[in-house]
Amino acid sequence: MYAERAPAADLAGHLRCSWTRRTGGSGSVLPDGCLDLMWISGELVVAGPDTVATRAELPAGVEIAAVRFRPGAAPAVLGLPASALRDQRVPLAELWPDAPALADRVGAAADRVGAAADRVAVLEDAVRRRLADAPPVDPDAFAVGRRLARRAGGPGVVAELARRAGLSERQLHRRCVTAFGYGPKTLDRILRLQRFLLLGRADPAAGLARLAADAGYADQAHLGHDCRALAAATPGELIA
């Protein structure tokens, strides 16, 4: 009951995707480096960025429509650092005075064919309007996110990128915390876990040692440690 779509073309630099869901009960949400703006049965909520798995406790049948920001893109739209939202679910009304009116517009698309796509379109248009007056995304923090997403992490990556930007490592770390909600090491761990999940679900028969190596872990023990720390589960449980 979960459907994911590419965002509108003009928003692709800021949004990773849009998604809709009809819940089937409680479940676990894993950290992915992103923030989500969600319409949940009439209320708008900002979710994340998470550092550990969280439980989603919603009754079965609840309708959700959402947009998912690329790592580092949300602060310019939401108007506050991502670190202020770390591991939280915050009503959008606390951030945007016009949030109740926006929630009504999203809800007005209910109870007809194509409602899910129309709800997402309203959310995307709200992001588009905010971007018109928003400051640019921090290019140096964004470069860190792109580098880590390409599996180009490692002990020296932050120092290298800081040198290129003319910043100290501490300065770049602070900017990453503002952009992502946490530092580059945490982002690297989260993106690596997501790579493991994608690889494991694409090839469930693959051994964990191979999946660990392909995802960028030092070994299977390293994979197991991060799965327990970030998701409170074993690698096998996550794949299942």
Task: Answer whether 111's CB lies under 8 Å from 206's CB.
Answer: no
Which residue(s) pair with 64 in the sheet? Answer: 21, 40
Residue 186, amino acid: T
List pLDDT tens digits, range 206-225.
Answer: 999 999 999 999 999 999 99
Confidence of residue 153 (pLDDT cuts 50, 70, 90): low
Residue 52, amino acid: V
Return the axis-axis angle of helices 115-131 and 99-107, rounded to nearest 10°: 150
What percentage of the chain carries pLDDT values higher than 90? Answer: 70
Greater model confidence, 11 or 140: 11
Say what the pLDDT of residue 111 is.
Answer: 55
CA distances from 2 to 53, 65, 87, 199 (A): 18, 10, 22, 19
Tell the CATH superfamily of the 139-239 domain. Answer: Homeodomain-like (1.10.10.60)
Greater model confidence, 38 or 144: 38
Confidence of residue 65 (pLDDT cuts 50, 70, 90): very high
Confidence of residue 143 (pLDDT cuts 50, 70, 90): confident
Q: Where are the domains of the chain?
A: 2-131, 139-239
Tokens of 198: 């994608």
Say what the pLDDT of residue 59 is.
Answer: 82
Task: Answer whether 36's CB lies under 8 Å from 68's CB.
Answer: yes
Say whether pLDDT at 112 is over 80: no
CA–CA distance, 189 with 130 (Å, rounded to integer): 31
Say what the pLDDT of residue 155 is.
Answer: 64
Say what the pLDDT of residue 61 is.
Answer: 83
Say what the pLDDT of residue 114 is.
Answer: 61
